[in-house]
Amino acid sequence: MRVVVFDIWGDYAHFRKFFTTSSPLTFSFPPPPTIAGILGAIYGTNKDTNQYLRMFTPEHCFIALRIIHPIKKVRMGLNLIDTKVGFQPKRHTQIRTEFVKNPHYRIYFHHKHQEVLDHLTELLANHQTVYTLALGLSELLADFRLIGTFEAKKISPDRPLDIVTAITEDNLAELKVEPDKKYIKERLPIVMTPERVVEKYQEVIYETTGKTLKARVKTCFKLKSGEHITFFWS
């Protein structure tokens, strides 16, 4: 199986948590539906029909994510203006919003349709996208670069390995807690319909500073680069 690997980063990111209202909080990294949106922006899927939520689904592709920069969150006030009444200086509301500062992620991607994988690889290699990339909000522009394409072999390890990506709880058999690492378990949306209805949530375990997770998992993939990764679904 061929896996395309690319990095994406920016100054700030905001991936809104579904349970927050007046003071929006952010996930530490983009959930799979958001990664699908990033892939759709590169590929140029139809925005009006949310085509990316049809093209980049568990039936067609695999997605994994590695944290490169340590997660650091900050809060800033955003001035929101009611555009329905036109611009009026006093008609705005300030909302305290949480952001990830200096986010940098590595995305691992495989698509079952070879032409889709080839076209995405070509665009990434040429540093091209159809739509502008952003990290959660349109104002939070992102840059990216292709790391490479690697052959990956599916394995079912019988011992703990150093996993470089986030791990879903249903794939985790054993986690070796190490003293110099910071662990978080977070509930993320995993599958979303084209109507933007979340069909599946999942607990995901990750290390906040970008270090590996020493874990025994039910299924993982070993890349020719030597990395062990787990996809958000298998």
Digit-by-digit pLDDT tens for the chain (234 residues) are 999 999 999 999 999 998 766 679 999 999 999 999 999 999 999 988 999 999 999 999 999 999 999 999 999 988 777 666 665 666 677 788 999 999 999 999 999 999 999 999 999 999 999 999 999 999 999 999 999 999 999 999 999 999 999 999 999 999 999 999 999 999 999 999 999 999 999 999 999 999 999 999 999 999 999 999 999 997
Question: Would you call 14 helix, strand, or coil by DSSP?
Answer: coil
pTM for this one? 0.93
Which domain, by its residues, includes 59? Answer: 2-229
Q: What's the mean pLDDT when you consider all of the chain?
A: 94
Beta strands in the chain (DSSP E): 2-10, 12-13, 61-67, 73-81, 92-101, 104-111, 142-155, 161-163, 167-168, 172-175, 183-192, 198-207, 213-217, 220-223, 228-229
CATH code, 19: 3.30.70.2660
First to last CA, the chain: 13
Q: Are 33 and 18 in contact (CB under 8 A)?
A: no
Beta bridge partners of 173: none
**Integer Cα distance of 80 and 26 in angstroms:** 18
Asked if the structure places residue 234 within a domain, the reply is: no
Q: Are 178 and 220 in contact (CB under 8 A)?
A: no
**Integer Cα distance of 220 and 217 in angstroms:** 7
Asked if the structure places residue 120 within a domain, the reply is: yes
Q: Domain tally for the chain?
A: 1
Give me the half-sphere count of Cα atoms (radius 13 Å) on the Cβ side of residue 4.
21
Asked if the structure places residue 210 within a domain, the reply is: yes
Asked if the structure places residue 76 within a domain, the reply is: yes
Asked if the structure places residue 207 within a domain, the reply is: yes
